[in-house]
Every structure is written in structure tokens, then in C-alpha cells.
Structure 1
Amino acid sequence: MTERWWAEDWKEFKETLPHQEEPYSKRSWGNGLHSLCSFPGKLKPAIAHHLVDIFVPEEGTMLDPFAGVGTIPFEASLQGHTPYAFDLSPHAFTITKAKLQVTSATTTSDVISELENYLESNTPTESAYDTVSEFGLNGDIEEYYHEDTLEEVLLAREYFLSKPLVELSPSELLVMASLLHVLHGNRPYALSRRSHPITPYAPSGDFEYRPLIPRVEDKVERSLNCDIPFNFTEGHTFQADSLKWWPVEVDNLDAVITSPPFFDSTRFYSQNWLRLWFAGWEPEDFDSRPSEFVDKRQKETFNVYEPLIRQSRERLKEGGVLVFHLGKSDKCDMAEELRQIAEPWFDNYDILDESVAHVEKHGVEDKGSTTNHMYLVLY
């Protein structure tokens, strides 16, 4: 293997932009588990597919330090590589870990039965009701649900938070991720009144009882029916801050491939607030926790990326590569900013500039001011 095993494939990608052509350009392209749970700003699976295919050698090892809902590491698993994934968000961690592990219909059915029994045997606390009547970013939580559905949502949250996220089994994670998906939306599959499947805009319409268990069962069944290739390789997911010291087992990597929040992206916690609450955040966390996340920290200085870039260099094999998928706007060229920070650790770089004028909004009104996607390759 030459030091730049990826050079020819990368050159072809730059010339052809295959993710813009059929079949990759289709909105539905990719494994169905990419849609395990809606997520704002999710990287297009076709882009993740090609970046992994280009930059990770056969049966290689890679890391996504800003994994989000696991689009890049899941593509690595599908291609037979060993992926590592970091994310600070508890709901993103849940979804990614569910995608990167294999479970069965039998064990998942057992979890749903246990959850159903919990819903039938318990009653939410008064403090839980107090919280949902007083907290919400687009309206109080209680405004989203019929009172009977709200009771089930509160108990389901209590059920999943009864033990740490890191201790949940693959089946428990799949059920929780499925529940996160149906937590809000604008179609009958959702538990909420009419809102939006990506961002929980203020609800509208009648209060209608929507039972939780059948909707979760339906989503889980569809997820279990997604085709998983024989060479699928389970990954390793950490609820970790990629801008701090990485776990020691994340080492000897062939590639680090990631798409951090764009400089002009909408605040992640306001777009994800209802799912973050279900995954464990309390009202006070929305005041204190956002300062830990890179989308806010990078507004002050891009130097926050220095520990990530330095550790990438240290954990990569000789000839390994660090790849960023970034956003560019009139206010900020993220690729150039990070290229300069990377100079002490990476001798070479390449940058690809791709217009995103063709990208759909999918019903989301605020897509930020990003005009181009940038690919920064450091080696």
C-alpha cells in the first residue's frame, strides 16, 4: 500500500462529484437505518459512503469525532471497516450506538414488552408533570401531547433513564432510538400533535391520543427489516468530548473523517431540545450544557480544534489521513481556518469547494447561510 492509497480515488471524486448523480443523488439512497431517527444537519449518506470508500483501506479502522447520529461510522461498518464514534449529546450517542451494534427481533421484542409493562404498572411523579408544564423552547412539553400520550412519554423517559446510557443493551438502544424518532413529527407515526420531524416547532391541531407502544413497535420492525451486509463490522461509540483527551483504545487509525457543526449552523440544542430532554437533559441543562459543545465554542475561536487535530496526528498510522467536511459562508471559510491551525501537524493538504445551491431544505425554514461545502484533506 502506498502512502497515499486514496489519491486516485480522491481525484476522481473531485472531478465527478458522484454523490450528485443517480443513484446517489436520490433522497432515499442508502441503508434504511440511516433514517433511524431524524436529525438536523445530518450529512448526506452518499457523501459519507464515498468518503469512507476513498479514505479507509480494506478492513481499515476510522474515527468520526463529531459523529452526530452516526452517518459516517455507520457507512464504515457497512463497508466492513471498524469505526469509532464520539458525540457529547446523549440522544445522538443513543442513535449512533444503536446503528453500530447488531441486535435481534427476539431481544428487541422482550424490551418492548418490558417497556409496555412498565407503562401499565406505573404513574408519573408530580415533579415530572410540573417540569413538562413549565419547560419547552417552542412551547411547553405538555402542549405537544394528549394527556394519555404524555403520561406514556413521561414513563418511557423514566424507564430508559433508570440506568446509565452506556449500560443499555443493543436492543434497548434500538427501542429508545426508535422512540426518539416518533417523539415529534407531522405525520400519524408521531406521538405529538402536528409539529416537524426534525425540529419540534410549536405544535398545532387537535389533541389526539396516540399510544406509544404500537408506534415504537412499527418503527423498530422497519429498522430490523433493513438489510445488513454479511461483512458488517460493529463499531465503538463513546459519549465523549473530541476536543479533550481521547480514550486510549482509539489508536492506530487509518483515517479520521468527520463533519463538525458548520460555523453558521443553527444552535444544535434548540433544534434537538425535545429529544435531548427525553434522553436525559433537565431544564437547567439547557442553560449550562451548550457551552460545552463545539458549535458554540468555535464562535469565539477555531483554536478549539487544535487538540482534535493534534490527537488525530498522534493516533493515525503512518500515511493516515484527516478529512473534514465543512461549511463555507460569506462570514467564514472553515476549511481555510482549520488548514492554518493544522500546519504544525500536517505537512500537506487539499481543499475541494462544492456549491450546495442544489440542496433541498426538506421543510426546514432556517438552514443557515452556508453557501458551499468544503472538503479539507490533511495528510
Structure 2
Amino acid sequence: MLTRRVRAAGVTAASVALLLTLAPVPAGAEAPPPPPNPSDAELRDSRADAKARAGQVGELTSRVADAEAKLIALQAEVELKLEEANKALVDLQAAEEAARVARADAEAARREADGAGRVVEQARRDVDAFVAGSFKQGSTIGSVSAYLGAQGVEDLLAKIQLLNSVSGSAIDAMAELDRARVDKANKDSAARAALDLANAKQAEAERAKRAADAATEAARAAQRDQVARAKELIAARDAAEQALAAAQARAGGLEHQRQRYLEWLAAKQREDAARARGGAAGLPAGGRVRVVIERALAQLGVTYAWGGGNANGPTRGMRDGGVADAFGDYQKIGFDCSGLMIYAFAGVGISLPHYSGYQAERGRRVPLDDMAPGDMLFWQTGGRIHHVALYLGNEQMVEAPYSGAHVRIASVRYGGIAPFAVRLL
């Protein structure tokens, strides 16, 4: 029944009045049963009881709203921490690749330096053997046999010049090779320094990745704790609302609700007949707004399911790898925030994408001071849109809030709200 759906949505008295004016009732809905006929004393007692329980419901509703606001803030925090973790992973992968390249370069430089060292040592041994042979013959410039074989003074001078040239070339070659070894050793040292830097950056990236993962898990843990707290408060509020409904029934409140419902039903039937004759697309702007609002309100109490909802109604949710999976949204039939907007506006032939960020780009943006019933409201963190709701008027809105909740009417939350509304009609 309508009253049961109102209680499930957790609405205020102003919301109830608005819902009774606008919300459609499913076919076959039953009117509330007639109230009992209590005595005057029973009426006084029951009204006092209803007043006390109404105060309790108001307090619990306020606490639920605070818990939900904190839950929405925690959801935004989790999303930011996940992005930071993704950045840390990308940085770590880049640091690991840089370290791999640096290790390969250092190994190549070491091999080159080792090879240059072996060549220089061989050249040094050759020169040492040349000098030792010269001294054995009593000369520092060559073997005595070289002079004994000369065919005259000019031949002797030529042999001396040749020996000096050979000795000088060997020494020059050794010096050149020694310089090459020093150069290779410098390159090896530079390569090792680059490797040390790359390893340091990799270690820093690993620490950053661990810190980001820890921060993400801490944010998720806080969110899980808040979800549990919100569930407890919602359960307590629902129990209090049931008790309040019973007290109101004893005080005769349901009779008035029934009259209001019958008045609304008659108006709704007249409008349905008019719509059947002309179609929603042919209605003036005000009539189209009413169609959109009625379609959204018709889903009050429907389960939230992340990724759920299309132009035809609620659908099975999707996996998100986090909170939605913990609530089993992929096994539920329902709406998420943007899915509810898709269904509401489909009633007047407007097609919307299943992403609140893209929905914020449709239509005409108007200042919040000028928002009107039928406008879409958005919430953002760091300039990024992450939630959407439909404005009903009188500071009320209808939304699919988060996993574990249901489509509901709530007061407009101004914390984190985008500074504009989007008007499609």
C-alpha cells in the first residue's frame, strides 16, 4: 500500500503530502483499513503515544541522514584512494622497467670494461717482453744481433730508427688501451650509479604502492563500518516507523490518509485517460515534468542495484569489485542513481546514458537557486560527478542512494552538491 511505501522511503511529512499529490499507485492497490472506534480516553492516550513515537522517528531519521551523508563522503574517499593506488601501480611498473634497463646497461658496461682491461694487460705483457729482450742484449733499443747484421753505417742507422719506432708504437698502443680501459671503467661506474638510482626509485615506488594499498583498505574498512552503522540505524528507524504507524492508526490517522489517497487516485485516473488519448510526448512541459516525476516515484522502495535500471524498469545489477559486490548487487533487480533517471525520463521519450557524469552534460544548466521540479541534481568530489537525483520541489528529491538501500524520497543534501541543476524539460 502507499503508506507502506512511504514508510520504507523514510520521508518527512512534507514528502508524504507531495507523494500523495504526485505518486502513482500500482494497479490493484488496496485502501487502508478503517480505523478502530476508540473511546475518548483511548484517543487521548493513543495521540500522546503517537506524538512521542513521532519524535523518536524524527530523531532516528536525522541520525540516518547523518550516517548516509558520511557514507557518501566515505564512498568518494574510497574512489579517490583507488585512483591513487592505480597511480602508484603505474609508477611502480615504470620504475621496475627503468631498473631492468639500468641493470642491462650496467652489465654491458662491466663486460666492456673487463674486455678492455684484458687487452691492456696483454699489451703490457708484450711491451715488458720487448724491453726485457733489449736489456738482455745490453741495449735499451733492441737486440745486438740487429746491429751486427747491418751492411754499413746507413743500414745501421735505419735499423736503430726502426727499433725506436717499434718500441714507441708499442708504448703508445699500451697508453691508448689504458685510456680506453679508464673510459670503459668510467662508463661502468656511471652505469652502476644509474642502476643504484633506478633501484632506489623502484624501492620508493614499492613503498608508495604499499602505502596507497593500505590507505585504500583503510578507507574501505571505514566505509564497511559506516555501512553496518547505517544498517543498524535504518533498522531502528524502520521499527520506530512501524510503531508510529500503529499508533497513528489507533489515533484515527489512517482515515485521513485514505481520503487523501482516494482524491489523488481520482485525479490520477483522469490524467491517465488524458495521457492515453494524447500520449506523453504531446503533453505541455508541465505535464511532461509530472510524467517524469511519477515514473520515478512509482519505484519507491525498489532495491538499489549498482549498474541496474534501463528505460523499461529495474534490471539486474553488476559487479564493481567492492561495496556493491559485498551487498550482492549483481544478484539483485533494481536501480542505481543514473539508472533511475534513465527510467524516469524515458516516459517522455528522452534517452539518457547510464553514467551520471554524462547525464550532467545533457540539457540546460540552471543555478541551484532556480531549480524546479523535474530538474536533475548532481553531487561531485574534486570536480568529478558521482551521484544524481531528481528534484521534486519543496526541498525534496527522489534518488537511488547506495548499495543496501532502496529508492526513496529525501531532503536535498547540499554538502558536495554541484552548483547547478540540469533541466531537460
Higher radius of gyration, 1 or 2: 2
Q: Same fold by TM-score, threshold 0.5 exceeded?
A: no
TM-score (norm 1): 0.26
TM-score (norm 2): 0.24
